[in-house]
Amino acid sequence: MVHRFASFEIDADTREVRVGGHVLTLQPKVFDLLLYLAKHCDRVVPKDELLNQVWPGVLVTDASLQRAISLGRTALIEAGVSGAIRTHARQGYRLCDEKNHVKKLEPSEPVAAIKSAHAAYKRGEWAAAIAAFQEVDRADGLRADDLQRWAHAAQCAGEPELASGPLERAVAAFTARGDRRSAGWVAILLGQLRCEWREMVLAKGWYHRATRLLENEPPCREKGYLDLLGARMALLSNEIETALKLGERARAGGEKFGDADLESLGLVLAGEANLYLGNIREGLAAIDEAGTSVVACGLSSWAGGQVYCGVIYSCLTRADWHRAGQWTDQFTRWSVGKGAAGYPGICRMHRAEVLTVRGDLRAAEREIRATIQMLARQAPWAEGEAWVALGDILLAKGEFAPAREAFLQATELGWECSFELALVHFAEGNATAAAKLLGRTIADNYWSGRSKRGQALAYLAIILASARRPDEARKALAKLESEPELTSTPALQALLARARGEVAAAEGSRTEAIALLRNSLRAWQAMAAPLAAAHVRCRLAELLEAEGDNELATQEKAAALAAFKLAGASAYLKRNGNVSRGQRSKPVRKQK
């Protein structure tokens, strides 16, 4: 049986929907839905009836019906059939043509509505654009290009969870009209979105779908973005060499096709891969160039936010706090004029991390607590990172139990926090447990573990020295000193000086230890890291007391307590200055 309408026909025997002789590509349930509506085109079909008839014996939600309606409507629109599926509020749906509409909008209404949506989109009024696209979609459906705009507006408005539905429909619509390049591009966008949500199975599925859609296309910018997605997934899978190769290829593709977004994002991923491989100079050069390109090359809001996230994260994981502070300040200035597109939650999180290093713990905690819920909705892939940042702040305040809870929450969200939990154990005086966890971090060959290897070795030397195991401490220090790239930032140099001092003290060379700790203190002061400096002062006070220099010891301890008070580290003041030697200003995060 063939159901014929003015502009299209539905063939029940061949299971085809044809428009002008062209067969539309439809999912089986979408065809079943259209066929049922065609059989009952003389009336409005209630949604409950459709659910029972199209999905017999299957428990499904209204969302499944709405999705099938949207896919069918979009496929018909792309084939030139507009207004065929009508929504009747609180009643149901009806399949129509221009001869049997039960209710038909005036021709000017959908035209005016889509113009309104386009205008709001162009002005960057994301909430208004979303509402306008939704209105048009409910009334008359959207073309694939407008589905893309709707999804982009949702991401820019900080509502990425609203983007996947329109994008999935856009893939189907572009595929139905034979535009494989556009379908491949949208599949890449879906893969990127799923990566951000840490849904790697779905991300890989969209990556393979995009690969197949683009395999017969000539060289194009879309293939460059496919390389970019592949590089990101390789990085998350610890395939660092593959990530480096694909990142560099994406950068070259951006340069070839004049796409500044692609070129800069490729630079970031190649830079991160080089850093994790120990190619520090090459990695930093790529990271810094990518950061400057945001302003110099006028990147889009989305790409600029991604670039800055990668740049600042790379700095923080290497304890390069001075560079991270400068880039965070730049990111904050840049994002002011970009609305929500630059992931404001991530911006605030990085600001909180820098404030922690700078010793403003009260402001840092306010920022991060206000940010956690925002990230859970806008950028869930970063929520665990925010809990780590909160744990860092609480540890810096001396609130060890709450810090542990924050790190455990981050662990539940998929972040590896052995390093941070080791510092909690050490701050509490449990050197054995701390050393065991640091050993796990050092042995970890995953990219995020490699990025903290220098810090982990330095703290292991400090912990073993404090536990009166000088031979083991010396071995850890020797391993650290044998790999110069592990201490290639000012903060790591300061930490190295402290580790050397602690090992010297454990071996009985207090005079040498005092000199080395003073070097560490000066380095922390030069970086404007007052809490890290205060902890070194406390250790200096202990050694000076042991040497009988009580006056200098009192001065060092008084300066340390003043720094704790100014920073808001009240827990240390309550302990009457009995500061743990293991505490540090700001632990660095494990995984992006």
Handedness of CA 361, 362, 364, 370 (dihedral sign): positive
Please determine, for residue 577, whether its predicted confidence score (pLDDT) is greater than 70: no
Please determine, for residue 343, whether its predicted confidence score (pLDDT) is greater than 80: no
Q: Lowest-pLDDT range, 111-115, 212-216, 466-470?
A: 111-115
State pLDDT tens for residues 449-508. 788 899 999 999 999 999 999 999 999 999 999 998 889 899 999 999 999 999 999 999
Q: Is residue 227 part of a domain?
A: no
The DSSP-derived string for 293-313 is: HHHHTT--HHHHHHHHHHHHH
CA–CA separation, 513 and 478 (whole Å): 16
Q: Is residue 511 part of a domain?
A: yes
- Report the 3 state secondary structure along 156-183: HCCCHHHCHHHHHHHHHHHHHCCCHHHH
b/e burial code for range 544-576 (CB count within 10 A of at least 16 → b) = beeeeeeeebeebbebbbebbeebbbebbeeee
| Percent residues over pLDDT 70 in the chain | 91
**Mean pLDDT, the chain, as a whole number?**
86
Overall average pLDDT of the 264-272 stretch? 95
Give the residue with greater pLDDT, 238 vs 338: 238
Domain count, the chain: 2
Residue that finishes a domain, picked among 46, 75, 95: 95
Structure-block tokens of residue 469: 């195991």
Q: Is residue 106 part of a domain?
A: no
Structure-token match 């909160």, residue found: 390
**CA quadruple 366, 367, 369, 370: dihedral, nearest 10:** 110
Non-local (6+) Cβ contacts of 272 within 8 A are 235, 243, 247, 283, 287, 310, 314
pLDDT for 418: 93
Give the residue with greater pLDDT, 204 vs 198: 204
Residue 152 has φ and ψ, to the nearest 5°, of: -65, -40
CATH assignment at residue 426: 1.25.40.10
pLDDT for 126: 84
Please determine, for residue 574, whether its predicted confidence score (pLDDT) is greater than 70: no
CA–CA separation, 485 and 491 (whole Å): 13
The DSSP-derived string for 425-467 is: HHHTT-HHHHHHHHHHHHH--SHHHHTTHHHHHHHHHHHHHHT
The range of the structural domain enclosing residue 456 comes to: 418-574
The DSSP-derived string for 99-131 is: TS-SS---THHHHHHHHHHHHHHHHT-HHHHHH
Considering the entire predicted model, what is its pTM?
Answer: 0.70
pLDDT for 505: 96
Distances (CA, A) of 381 to 49, 133, 270, 394: 39, 27, 20, 22
Instruction: Say if residues 150 and 166 touch (Cβ distance below 8 Å).
Output: yes
State pLDDT tens for residues 366-411. 989 988 888 877 677 788 889 999 999 999 999 999 999 999 999 9
3-state helix, strand, coil in the chain (%, to 5): 70, 5, 25
Instruction: Say if residues 17 and 31 touch (Cβ distance below 8 Å).
Output: yes
Structure-token match 């190619």, residue found: 279
pLDDT for 488: 86
**CA quadruple 404, 405, 411, 413: dihedral, nearest 10:** -150
At 101, the pLDDT band (50, 70, 90 cuts) reads very low
pLDDT for 510: 94
Residue that finishes a domain, picked among 48, 71, 95: 95
Non-local (6+) Cβ contacts of 390 within 8 A are 365, 368, 369, 372, 406
The DSSP output letter for 17 is E
Give the residue with greater pLDDT, 527 vs 335: 527
Q: Is residue 433 part of a domain?
A: yes
Q: Is residue 315 part of a domain?
A: no
Question: Chain-centre distance of CA 450, in angstroms?
Answer: 19
CATH assignment at residue 89: 1.10.10.10
Non-local (6+) Cβ contacts of 239 within 8 A are none
**Packing angle of the helix pair 400-412, 418-427 (nearest 10 deg):** 170
At 581, the pLDDT band (50, 70, 90 cuts) reads very low
Query: Would you call 542 helix, strand, or coil by DSSP?
Result: helix
The DSSP-derived string for 50-110 is: HHHHHSTT----HHHHHHHHHHHHHHHHHTT--S-EEEETTTEEEE--TTS-SS---THHH
pLDDT for 374: 80
Non-local (6+) Cβ contacts of 48 within 8 A are none
Q: Is residue 376 part of a domain?
A: no
State pLDDT tens for residues 8-66. 888 888 888 888 778 888 888 888 998 999 888 888 899 888 988 898 878 777 878 88
Q: Is residue 391 part of a domain?
A: no
Which amino acid is present at 472? Answer: E
CA–CA separation, 105 and 85 (whole Å): 13
Structure-token match 């003073």, residue found: 518
Q: Is residue 52 part of a domain?
A: yes
**CA quadruple 522, 523, 524, 526: dihedral, nearest 10:** 80
pLDDT for 326: 81
Query: Would you call 277 helix, strand, or coil by DSSP?
Result: coil
Give the residue with greater pLDDT, 198 vs 53: 53
Residue that finishes a domain, picked among 75, 95, 115: 95
